[in-house]
Structure 1
Amino acid sequence: MNKSAAIINNQTNCSVVQMPDRKFPGIVLQGDSLNIIYSNLMKVLEQTEGKISKEEFLIILEQAELIEGYLNQYEKSLDESSIELPYSKSFNKTTKDYKHYWE
């Protein structure tokens, strides 16, 4: 059975959607917007490395890892559906480059 999502609000670049079988609505963030957020987080990591406490750095890194996971799933889904990305991939680093901070 194919269930449909209910669009609650579609007035911005970030729609509010009620997914079937979910108690609370979520948001649909455009892929290019998600890519911008990730890119900005990676820039913050690069610019703050060694300049802030390890605890503060790990908070930023944790958020970057979360967004990177969403972005990877988005890109995989588009690839599997033969849909072109709405942005070019231009990252020199990933959060894996900072994994030593978790040790």
Structure 2
Amino acid sequence: MERVEVELFTDGGNDAVVRMPGRRFPGVVVQGDSLHILRGDVAEVVEACERGDLDEARESARLLLANLDALLARYEAALGEHQIPRPY
């Protein structure tokens, strides 16, 4: 294990925006439990598609997209607050 200092652009919650040493742009740190939930959300979409339940798949995908949109908005707000251009 290596210890490094990172720049913290948001609070240190479940989806902190940080910049690692040597990186031009910040990234988002997703905690392991949150990553597991995200994976489960994607699995729900896949399973609903495999069953042919497109209504459930669509609804699950909408919820997943809303969560990702909120994460992206937090990331973009942090960049804006620190006058960092978006990497995309």
Using the size of structure 2 for normalisation, the TM-score is 0.50
More RCO (CA 8 Å, sep 6+): 2
